[in-house]
Chains A and B, each alone.
Chain A
Amino acid sequence: MIAAFRIPGAGRLRQAETASFSFDGHSYAGVEGDTLASALLANGVHLIGRSFKYHRPRGFLSAGAEEPNALVEIKRDSARKTPNVRATVQELYDGLAAQSQNRWPSLSFDVSALGDIASPLLSAGFYYKTFMWPKSAWKNFYEPKIRAAAGLGVAPDQADPDHYSARFAHCDVLVLGGGAAGIAAALAAAETGVRVILVDEQAEFGGSLHFESGAKIDRQDGFAWAQSAVAKLKTMDNVRVLSRTTAFGYYAQNFVGLVERVSDHLQNPGRDLPRERLWQVRAKRVVLATGAIERHMVFADNDRPGIMLASAARTYLNHYGVTVGRNVGVYTANDSAYAAAIDLKKAGVGVAAIVDLRDNPTGPVIEEARALGIEVNFGRAVIRAGGKLRVSSMTVQPKNGGGERTIPVDAILMSAGWTPSVHLFSQSRGKVAFNDETKRFVPGAYAQDCVSVGACNGTDGLSATIDEAYAAGAKAAKDVGANAKGNKPKVDASENWSRGMLGAAPGAGADTTVKAFVDFQNDVTAKDIRQAVHEGMRSIEHVKRFTTNGMATDQGKTSNMHGLAIAAETLGKPIPQVGLTTFRAPYTPVTFGSIVGHARGPLFDPTRKTAIHPWAERQGAVFEDVGQWKRAWYFPKAGEDMHAAVDRECVTVRKTAGLFDASTLGKIEVVGPDAAKFMELLYTNPWEKLEPGRCRYGIMLREDGFIYDDGVVGRLAPDRFHVTTTTGGAPRVMNHMEDYLQTEFPHLNVWLTSITEQWAVIAVQGPKSRDIIAPLVEGIDMSDEALPHMSVREGRICGVPTRLFRMSFTGERGFEVNVPADYGQAVWEALWAEGQKHGACAYGTEAMHVLRAEKGYIIVGQDTDGTVTPNDAGLDWAVGKKKTDFVGIRGMVRPDLVANGRKQLVGLKTKDPKVVLEEGAQIVGDSKQAIPMTMIGHVTSSYWSENCGRSIALALVAGGRDRMGETLYVPMPNATIEVEVTGMVFFDEKGERLNG
């Protein structure tokens, strides 16, 4: 069986119906090579969607990527639902299921179409004006209602199960567009041997040769020539040919983004195939052969299903073998629509009349149309279309007024002329120039190494196009050092098109109120554009935003020039003075999937795990994310919640000992004859006199005098420092050091090496820490005399090398055992076994935080925020008073940084010891003051301390150190909390336990 509107023998598809598909639940048959659009049209279906704002019934306008109306949802399964697919682009496969969008309850009866009747309320800029009263109703009523009624498809509600791949590519000549021009340019370049990539968005190459029945190249039908030329290109090793691939963005230095649709056209895409592939191509030369897009005529009710571009009707006939009607009318202002009428007539389709706005056009197509017996009317306009769900008639009137005549038709083919596709050229930052004679914007000044050829360059006629394109391809190859010696394709026959018109046609002029659509997808009429100008919009950018003309997903491919011309006419200015809106990427919508590629789920960001991570996992540790690191947060025993686990860990460390994985700590080795001098410049502390084998707590400032990082630094040798940084700060500290070493202090003989991942670090803290470590250590005297607090030795532990630090971030006697990361877990397990003999525990980052807060040790980035000086943090003792230079030395003493009343770090004790403050809570001096209160500081750290038997907190408070003992207030939503200002040390104020 053959579908009702498929014409036997017409088109290039094998007409055996092999695919069945559904649209809104109805089943239809299609043939191999169909698009969803051509298959529906073959079955006589024109009504495909409802419009965005007025819910007007809509049909197919085009046969390609510029389609504004025919947006559908394609559903493969519950997770694979793609909204807003252009039916004119979607290739048919057996079993395809499509749904119409933006209608309720059904496509042919849509309740919201009442919006069409209420449309005077919905004209341009309506949301700025109409729904202003009462004010609160906008947010709660109008906006949700309008948003529900307006719109396109519905986003899928499940994660995308498909995968997407990405590739980088480099080439000498990248040809964008695979019509006659692109193929000719690619041939010329490819024959020289340079690397060529040829790209086209359609399934088959040929561009407008899909419909141009009058084209003959190298003694073949134009489309057949295109296929054989591309087949030849595919055999060449230096050429890559990509079909179903859209060049969506043209970026700096000939960097072009392509999306290849790999499997959307397949019935059962295998799991090994990505859905789409993103190509990022860097080309030495780019040839733009992006063609031109036909414009519609702007007349009353020009959006009725069955009214479409003349070239679309030709494509459906000449390529797909489908007629879009039985009795078609043609409305045109240029020659190309005549060819549609002629092709249809020759295929046996009735052509009711051609209505031509021009007064006395002449030429071969006009003669041919007449010779075929088609009625041709000059100097007349179609002033209105009849019908609702399908066009039923066109009403014709002399363009200067006069008697009306209504002609019954079931389709209207229209052409107002052709708009060069300068999108990618414009994206390349090239400047378009307006040709007043042909009324088109064409490429003007170039900004990159590219060239436009053919219709996108305003070149008319196939011969001229191929000459220009072939020469451009050869020149591009020559520019990169290759010489052409091929055979230029010879054009034996071609079609010639004249120019057309811009703006509203007679009958839709300024004196009318008809709905003559300029932008179909956003429901913008000629009247809306005029209204925008009348309401004060002068620039096309303002008109665009006020009316939303050209702002839909089709980016105004068919509407921009009409909108511009109407605005210019209304303003009484020439078109170039009103300006063209900027073209931006993407050329057509691009899926998030193709941009994201494989960078999702676990591949979105690297996960860093320490050598001891598997052990912590086995122990049932709960982890927290610290930057890219997974850190053990706490180690709950059976029945323990976080609170209980942390309390137990904190108490055990102070009672016996605890093991803590500190491997994530940033570590940098500073080595060289000038290492000490370098340290003097990068840290506030003095380093020259630090004995090898000793450690010091160092503070790093930025040049502005604020604390940037901190950490314990061990001097291993006169020329070697083992520097530790905060976990999160490691990369930026390394960058900061490299910056100064390379650019400000290049005279210093120093090398910097990141050793964060080379050393696993096991902190053993608590009164029993030495007893746990000592049995495993060789070659290091562990006595307090030989290894006092803040010292470092190199030796062996468990038979492997170690850098053993005696240091403490808990206030207890403590050690940090550095071992090569590969031995980290084995040494940890050995220490754990020793620790078990003494009742030690493993503790996580939460207990680490509590223990350090009990001692008033700060965490840079938590208790400081980039506006805290060493003095603010109570760390003046760490700033070398005799030093003449270090980074931050000058910034630190700027007037505002030494002024009275700065926020200083202090301790806070709540009056009720059971109340734990919230970190970030604001602090006020007087809780009775009027709102808004004057806030004098905020809580930076706050915990329950089981060791202290109460809550503890650190806070930045204005003039804090002068407020010791003062009562302050922390207002919270439910209550105001009274606090007392205290010192920062809550436990073992004298520090005796460091040697305990």
Chain B
Amino acid sequence: MLLIRCPYCEEERPELEFRNAGEAHIARSANMAGESDDDFEKFFFIRSNPKGIIYERWRHMHGCARFFNAVRDTVSDRFLLTYKAGEPKPAKLPGASK
């Protein structure tokens, strides 16, 4: 069971308290109705599924109930960083593998 640091509670808590919510930093268009079919496809269907660093959304479901973002290495399953929803993609990652 992973330990995940909630950036709102500022504590590491067991995975049981959290729920994954898919890839992060996929912004919903401010002009949703005007999106082209291609843009909607990219927004709704296409996900990166990388081997390595992934930016994803989690929710501290059985804690503060806040959504936040996390950087995880899909190879080692380690969380490198978590940060609040709305904050920009971090420029530097601590201890990332190649």
Residues of A in contact with B (beta carbons under 8 Å apart): 251-253, 255, 280, 282, 429, 447, 703-704, 735, 738-739, 742-744, 746, 884-885, 889-891, 894-895
Contacts and interface: CB of A to CB of B under 8 A. Distances in A.
Contact of B77 (A252, A704, A744): A252
A742 B1 contact: no
A969 to B, nearest CB: 36
Contacts of B35: 890
Given A742-B66, A894-B37, A447 B76 contact: yes
A268 B14 CA distance: 38
7 contacts: A703-B28, A738-B59, A743-B57, A743-B86, A885-B32, A889-B32, A895-B37
Q: Which 6 A-B pairs have the closest CB atoms?
A: A742-B67, A890-B32, A743-B85, A744-B28, A253-B3, A255-B1
A891 B44 contact: yes
A282 B37 CA distance: 48
A282 B1 CA distance: 9
A739 B67 contact: yes
Interface string B37-72: 100100010000000000001010100011100000
A246 to B, nearest CB: 19
Contact of A253 (B2, B44, B66, B85): B2
Nearest to A702: B44
B91 interface: no
A735 to B, nearest CB: 7
A890 B33 contact: yes
Given A252-B77, A889-B32, A891-B40, A738 B65 contact: yes
Contacts of A282: 3, 14
A739 B20 CA distance: 12
A513 to B, nearest CB: 46
Contacts of A890: 32-33, 35, 40
A746 B86 contact: yes
Contact of A703 (B21, B44, B65, B66): B44
Contacts of B77: 252
Q: Which residue of B1, B14, B32 has the most chain A CB atoms within 10 A of its CB atom?
A: B32
Interface in B64-90: 65-67, 76-77, 85-86
B32 A252 contact: no
A922 B14 CA distance: 46
A704 B85 contact: no
A263 B40 CA distance: 61
Contacts of A735: 59, 61
Contacts of A885: 32-33
Contacts of B2: 252-253
Given A704-B44, A894-B40, 12 more contacts: A703-B28, A703-B44, A735-B59, A738-B65, A738-B67, A742-B67, A743-B85, A744-B28, A884-B33, A889-B33, A890-B40, A894-B37
A675 to B, nearest CB: 19
A559 B62 CA distance: 45
A376 B74 CA distance: 57
A891 B37 CA distance: 9
Q: Which residue of A253, A429, A739 has the most chain B CB atoms within 10 A of its CB atom?
A: A253
Nearest to A744: B28
Nearest to B85: A743
Contacts of B32: 885, 889-890
Contacts of A738: 59, 65, 67
Contacts of A743: 57, 67, 85-86
A250 to B, nearest CB: 12
Contacts of B85: 742-743, 746
Contacts of B86: 743, 746
Q: Which residue of B2, B14, B33, B65 has the most chain A CB atoms within 10 A of its CB atom?
A: B33
A255 B44 CA distance: 36
A742 B59 CA distance: 10
Contacts of A746: 85-86
A704 B66 CA distance: 24
A566 to B, nearest CB: 33
Contacts of B65: 738
Contacts of B37: 894-895
A899 to B, nearest CB: 13
Nearest to A885: B32
Contacts of A739: 21, 59, 67
B60 to A, nearest CB: 11
Contacts of A884: 33
Nearest to A257: B1
A735 B18 CA distance: 13
Nearest to A429: B76
A357 B86 CA distance: 70
A616 to B, nearest CB: 31
A898 B32 CA distance: 17
A158 to B, nearest CB: 32
Nearest to A895: B37
A400 B67 CA distance: 72
A253 B5 CA distance: 13
Nearest to A254: B3
B25 to A, nearest CB: 11
A686 to B, nearest CB: 15
A745 to B, nearest CB: 9
A744 B76 CA distance: 30
Q: Which residue of A703, A744, A890 has the most chain B CB atoms within 10 A of its CB atom?
A: A890
B29 to A, nearest CB: 8
A621 to B, nearest CB: 33
A916 to B, nearest CB: 40
A282 B16 CA distance: 14
Contacts of B44: 703-704, 891
A885 B31 CA distance: 8
Contacts of B76: 429, 447
B10 to A, nearest CB: 18
Nearest to A255: B1
Contacts of A252: 1-2, 77
Nearest to A886: B32
Nearest to B28: A744
Given A743-B85, A885-B32, A894-B37, A251 B1 contact: yes
Contacts of B14: 282
B31 to A, nearest CB: 8
B86 to A, nearest CB: 6
Nearest to B67: A742
A615 to B, nearest CB: 33
B44 to A, nearest CB: 6
A942 to B, nearest CB: 34
A556 to B, nearest CB: 26
Contacts of A429: 76
A253 B79 CA distance: 10
B98 to A, nearest CB: 15
Contacts of A889: 32-33
Nearest to A883: B33
Nearest to A889: B33
Contacts of B33: 884-885, 889-890
B24 to A, nearest CB: 9
A704 B35 CA distance: 13
A200 B76 CA distance: 29
A910 B52 CA distance: 58
Q: Which residue of A280, A738, A742, A891 has the most chain B CB atoms within 10 A of its CB atom?
A: A742
A895 B65 CA distance: 37
Q: Which residue of A447, A743, A884, A885 has the most chain B CB atoms within 10 A of its CB atom?
A: A743
B17 to A, nearest CB: 13
A681 to B, nearest CB: 10
Contacts of A744: 28
Contacts of A704: 44
B81 to A, nearest CB: 15
B71 to A, nearest CB: 16
B41 to A, nearest CB: 9
Contacts of B61: 735
A986 B21 CA distance: 42
Nearest to A703: B44
A255 B12 CA distance: 14
A866 B9 CA distance: 35
